[in-house]
Amino acid sequence: MTDVAILGRFDDLGIWKQGDQRAPHKPLLVLYALGRWQAGQKEVGFRQVEPDLTLLLREFGPSRKSDHPEQPFWRLQRDGVWTVHAPADLALKTCDDIPRIGELRSHDVRAEFSPEVQTALSSDPGLAAVIAARILERHFPESLHPDILNAVGLTLETTVTKRKRDPAFRQRVLKAYEYRCAVCGFDVRLGSVSIALDAAHIRWHQAGGPETEDNGFALCVLHHQAFDLGAFTVREGVLLVSDQANGTSGFQEP
């Protein structure tokens, strides 16, 4: 397969969606596996993936009552980029089509990129970075990219064309908020230039959020990252703090 065909498979990952919410499970597993690939590890066992992916889901995914790393580990096969090596008679979850998590653990089920993907990655050393960059651009806000890359041990040595952004969006949003953070009022300038102040998308740019003032608000870099991580959100002009957000210093519930 050509690199273009391989990239198409990763671009078309089947992602669970509900309204504006998108499950990050498969993208995070792909990034995790690419990090292992760059480190020279082609195959990963579920017993290794389970704790690592659970931590990634808790840090970079929406708050949930429980995490299910077994779901992407098994279902990524459907996207043509992943191969799972498992006995044929694994007991399935009740009313589901994937094995019980205990079965994946006890049989030491292992997985790796599909043969076509491995051939492409071996032939083009820069392809892993291209795939990773496209996954990040499609599924995560830009403020989280460095932290995700650090968490999965990935290095990007190439760049890809990103969805074009409106360069005037930031200026319009900051002007609407009088160049102040909408949460803490931070408005430091260096001369006439605002510093550490971003125009945040309420509905993420990666999820198709429009480049309009009603889909943005001004946030300092601290509150921008807190927002992208889900510490708080905005609904109909009201700031709502996650019940998972807590702290003793620098944290106040509105």
DSSP result, 105-134: HHTT-EEEE-HHHHHHHHH-TTHHHHHHHH
Is there a domain that residue 164 lies in?
A: no
Is there a domain that residue 251 lies in?
A: no
Last residue of a domain, one of 152, 177, 205: 152
pLDDT for res 60: 85
pLDDT for res 159: 45
pTM of the model: 0.70
Structural domain that includes position 126: 3-152
Please tell me whether residue 138 adopts helix, strand or coil conformation: helix
pLDDT for res 87: 94
pLDDT for res 254: 46
pLDDT for res 47: 96
Last residue of a domain, one of 152, 187, 220: 152
- Number of separate domains in the chain: 2
Instruction: Check whether residue 233 and residue 116 sit in a common domain.
Output: no
Instruction: Check whether residue 133 and residue 173 sit in a common domain.
Output: no
The upper half-sphere exposure of residue 126, i.e. CA atoms within 13 Å in the direction of its Cβ, equals 4
Instruction: Check whether residue 108 and residue 230 sit in a common domain.
Output: no
Instruction: Check whether residue 220 and residue 194 sit in a common domain.
Output: yes
Please state the φ and ψ torsions of residue 234, each to the nearest 5 degrees: -130, 130
Is there a domain that residue 252 lies in?
A: no
Contact between residue 206 and residue 139 where contact means Cβ atoms under 8 Å apart: yes
Instruction: Check whether residue 35 and residue 89 sit in a common domain.
Output: yes
Instruction: Check whether residue 61 and residue 140 sit in a common domain.
Output: yes
Q: Using CA atoms, how far apart are residues 78 and 99, in angstroms rounded to an integer?
A: 15
Instruction: Check whether residue 84 and residue 195 sit in a common domain.
Output: no
pLDDT for res 160: 47
Instruction: Check whether residue 174 and residue 76 sit in a common domain.
Output: no
Instruction: Check whether residue 116 and residue 204 sit in a common domain.
Output: no
Please tell me whether residue 217 adopts helix, strand or coil conformation: strand
- Cα distance between the two ends of the chain: 54
Q: Using CA atoms, how far apart are residues 159 and 176, in angstroms rounded to an integer?
A: 32
Residues (pLDDT < 70) of the chain are 20, 157-167, 205-207, 249-254
Is there a domain that residue 161 lies in?
A: no
pLDDT for res 165: 59
